[in-house]
Structure formats: C-alpha cells, structure tokens
Amino acid sequence: MNMTSDTSYRNPLLTVDIIIEIDQHIVLIKRKNPPYGWALPGGFVDYGESLEASAVREAKEETCLDIDLIEQFHTYSAPDRDPRHHTVTTVFLAQASGDPKASDDAKSIGMFTKDTLPDPIAFDHNRILDDFFRYKNGEPKLDIFKIYK
C-alpha cells in the first residue's frame, strides 16, 4: 500500500489510563457516557501533550486528585480494546492521597481492592487490572513477545 497516495489512511487514537492507588485501594470511575461501566481514569491525549502530562490531567479532570506518577506500566494496543474505535493506551501507575470526587466524564467514583471490583468493567480494563494485580503479587510485567507469538 502506497501511504503517500492513499487518502483513507487512518491512525489509532492515543489514550492514557491511570491505576491510582490510595491506601491499598484502586480508584475507578463509573462512566457517564458509552461504553458504560466502571473504568480506570483516563482519556485521549491532546495534540502537543506528553503521555505523562495527559495522565496527570485526565486523573485530575475525572477524580479531582493530584497524582504522583510512579511508573509506566504497559501499553495495550489490541484493535478491539475500545468498542468505539481503535485506540492504543499507555497505562501509568500512580499514587495519591485524599478523597476522590467524580468529575468530567465520571458519573460516580469508588475505591476498590482486587476482591471488591465492581461489575461491569468497561473496555479491556479487566485485563489491565488482572495484569496489575499479578504484578503487585511479584510476577514480572507482561512479556509482550510471548503474548503475540
């Protein structure tokens, strides 16, 4: 395919998601827009914005929390991870203190543990959370080369 002459060429949309820990709990938002369900705070990266700045902004917009980014966890890129369109998300681990408050795209907000996760969870965030809890239990981060063989 000749990319220079193909006017229908499309790129995946770039997003960030943040796993925010407060006192051994994970902050999730209940979405007020489709797809409905509980989700990690996050959203689309603005043009001219770094992934890190986007994560801090999205966390503040949806949870009213100031976060400290701890590490970049993993990038998820399955074309069907978001039912609306092809997105690629980079997930960050963060810590915060205080009481989260639902704002922006969040209808409500909650703090959960692995054993108290709500249902349904939107997008591929169940997989992301499963990967996170395995990582917290001492397992290594995902080996992407084993996943895609």
**Cβ–Cβ < 8 Å for 27, 99:** no
For the whole prediction, is pTM greater than 0.95? no
CA distance 91 to 76: 8
Q: Which two tokens stand for residue 6?
A: 């193909």
35-84 tens-digit pLDDT: 999 999 999 999 999 999 999 999 999 999 999 999 999 999 999 999 99
Give the integer Cα–Cα distance in Å for 31 and 121: 10
What average pLDDT does range 99-106 have in this prediction?
92
Domains for the chain: give ranges and CATH numbers: 13-147 (3.90.79.10)
CB 41 within 8 A of CB 27: yes
Q: What does the pLDDT read at residue 146?
A: 56
The 3-state DSSP class for residue 145 equals: helix
Distance between CA 78 and CA 144 in Å, rounded?
Answer: 12
**Rounded Cα distance, 88 and 41, in Å:** 15
Strand (E) positions, the chain? 13-22, 25-31, 38-39, 42-44, 68-76, 87-95, 106-112
Band (149; pLDDT cuts 50, 70, 90): very low
Task: Give residue 142's pLDDT band: very low, low, confident or very high (50, 70, 90).
Answer: confident
